């Protein structure tokens, strides 16, 4: 059973590199740490009954995942200039059905982002956040009542603005 689970993890490792071919493949790229931990553990356990070929195979895929993970933690350090202005951005999925506009407005006033993206934005939410959103003179908003509304708000001017749909619209 463990070997079968690891075989699935090996396939998932490969599929994680195929994200540019479709969003479904991209989902497999989000679990590299889990793939590494599971494959490395089983590879180590397979050394006890001296199943070296299977252990080496799973260790190879564990190392592939480790190679993807390590640069995220030990990559090059970014040089920052303390004299340059800092740009704050915030993305909030407001959860249009059960979210709390008061909490969102409070978060906006506490963090004061320069750029704000609100997902699942509806006309009702825009009305309830009207006061908090006055700080953003530039916006591109496409509210919808089906959890697919989006709004981009900025204190800085846009070079241009448009909202594009990349999937066919479904009607309910």
Residue 24 tokens, joined: 């479904």
Backbone angles phi, psi at 79, to 5 degrees: -80, 125
pTM of the model: 0.55
Angle, helices 32-46 vs 52-74, to 10°: value is 150
Q: How many CA atoms lie within 13 A of 133 on its CB side?
A: 19
Options 3.40.50.150, 3.40.50.1220, 3.30.479.30, 1.10.940.10; CATH for 89-154 is 3.40.50.150
Indicate whether 168 pLDDT > 70. Answer: no
pLDDT, tens only, 72-102: 888 777 777 777 778 899 999 998 788 899 9
Backbone angles phi, psi at 163, to 5 degrees: -120, 125
Beta bridge partners of 140: 152
Per-domain boundaries in the chain: 2-73, 89-154
Count of beta carbons in the 10 Å neighbourhood of residue 68: 17
Q: Which helix (H) or strand (E) holds 23?
A: helix 23-26
């Amino acid at each position: 059973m463990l070997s079968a689970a690891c075989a699935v993890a090996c396939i998932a490792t490969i599929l994680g590199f195929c994200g540019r071919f479709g969003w479904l493949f991209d989902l497999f790229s989000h679990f590299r740490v889990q793939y590494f931990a599971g494959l490395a553990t089983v590879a180590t356990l397979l050394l006890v009954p001296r199943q070296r070929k299977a252990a080496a195979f799973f260790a190879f895929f564990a190392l592939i995942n480790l190679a993807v993970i390590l640069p995220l933690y030990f990559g090059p350090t970014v040089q920052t200039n303390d004299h340059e202005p800092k740009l704050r951005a915030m993305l909030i999925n407001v959860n249009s059905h059960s979210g709390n506009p008061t909490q969102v407005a409070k978060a906006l006033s506490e963090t004061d982002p320069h750029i704000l993206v609100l997902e699942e934005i509806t006309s009702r939410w825009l009305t309830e956040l009207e006061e908090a959103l006055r700080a953003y003179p530039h916006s591109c908003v496409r509210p919808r009542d089906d959890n697919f509304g989006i709004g981009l708000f900025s204190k800085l001017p846009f070079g241009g603005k448009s909202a594009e749909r990349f999937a066919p619209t479904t009607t309910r």
